[in-house]
Structure 1
Amino acid sequence: MANISDVIEAHLKEIIATNNHKAIEIKRSELAALFQCVPSQINYVINTRFTIEKGYVVESKRGGGGYIRIIRVQPQDKIQLLEELISLVQPKISQQAAIDVIERLLEEEMITAREAKIMVSAITRNVLNVQLVLRDELRSRILSSMLTTLKYKE
């Protein structure tokens, strides 16, 4: 059984998909009431599941008339997407943000599930067993190289 975060994420993605991948506006309190959870749970889902690495831009306005706007970023083409991702991952990137980038490539059908697993295995902290201050920079260089290779695939 999926946890509440997974259910909320799936619900929001379904709304975005039925809206032709355009921007949606939601009220945190209404969504919390719908799923019978605290508003901070909605914040958690939005902050962790709808990141720029995953292809989303989130805007919010607090207060009585407040809202959260989630926008699915649609690149003009795959080369543009790769160029944006390359600039996004530099000069350093955390393990989770790098995994999010790889998951985005998988969602956009630019890589296979097998290729995604290989890419993730190359950028984990277990493999990049260097000082913490260097790890995110090294991960960035490796991921940038992989993304550059994808630009010139075939």
Structure 2
Amino acid sequence: MRISDSVANYILELLNQAGGIAEIQRNELASFLGCVPSQINYVLTSRFTPEQGYIVESRRGGGGYIRITRLKLSKADMIMHIINGVGDSLDGASARAMLENMVGGAVLDRQSAELIAAALSEKALAAVPKELRDTVRAMICKSMLLATRT
């Protein structure tokens, strides 16, 4: 088993034991699991995303912690949460990763994700000036996600 799988499984177990909210200290968890702290960050950013039904908050400093909360939202509410997180700009790589996470979290089906990805692609936005593409991509993404809520 890969270390990232071990980290994710440990965090999932913590969430299950704590009723959906777990607080961890990154350095302590890394030491306990025998990995580097950046591996914890990688797992949190790739497997505990809003698209997959999680909120991750961190507080820095000596008593710092990372709080992971499992969301209990309907698909429509989850999509609205994702739309709110997109912001005013969205690059192509982030859009593809977000859509993959949404498929993995059963928020979108594969066909819908592929259609949205096609609309957000560099090829589809080729006529848009480069300095505006990420802004236009964010707007299109939000509009398409809104259309999938119903």
Q: RMSD of the TM alignment (CA)?
A: 3.1
Aligned CA distance change for structure 1 residues 125 and 24 (closer, same or farther; 3 Å):
farther
Structure 2 CA distance for aligned equivalents of residues 21 and 105 of structure 1 = 23
Listed one character per residue, the Cα deviations across residues 42-91 of structure 1 (whole Å, up to 9, x for unaligned) are: 2333345434454432223345543221112333x333333333333242
Q: What TM-score does the superposition give when structure 2 sets the normalisation length?
A: 0.71
Structure 2 CA distance for aligned equivalents of residues 136 and 83 of structure 1 = 20
SS at structure 1 position matched to 2:146? helix
Counterpart of 1:115 (choices 112, 116, 120) is 112
Structure 2 CA distance for aligned equivalents of residues 21 and 93 of structure 1 = 33
- Within a 5 Å distance, the mapping from 1:44-83 to structure 2 comes to 44-75=42-73, 77-83=74-80
SS at structure 1 position matched to 2:39? helix
Q: Which residue number corresponds to residue 144 of structure 2?
A: 146
Structure 1 CA distance for aligned equivalents of residues 122 and 19 of structure 2 = 34
Counterpart of 2:36 (choices 21, 35, 38) is 38
Aligned CA distance change for structure 1 residues 69 and 114 (closer, same or farther; 3 Å):
same
Counterpart of 2:132 (choices 134, 138, 141) is 134
Structure 2 CA distance for aligned equivalents of residues 32 and 50 of structure 1 = 17
Q: Which residue number corresponds to residue 84 of structure 1?
A: 81
Aligned 8 A contact 1:55 1:104 in 2: no
Q: Counterpart of 2:139 in structure 1: which amino acid?
A: R
Between the aligned residues of both structures, percent identity stands at 38
Aligned 8 A contact 1:54 1:101 in 2: no
SS at structure 2 position matched to 1:57? strand
More deviation in 23-32 or 117-126?
A: 117-126
Structure 2 CA distance for aligned equivalents of residues 78 and 146 of structure 1 = 15
Q: Counterpart of 1:113 in structure 2: which amino acid?
A: R
Q: What TM-score does the superposition give when structure 1 sets the normalisation length?
A: 0.70
Instruction: Name stretches of at least 5 consecutive residues in structure 1 with no aligned partner.
Output: none
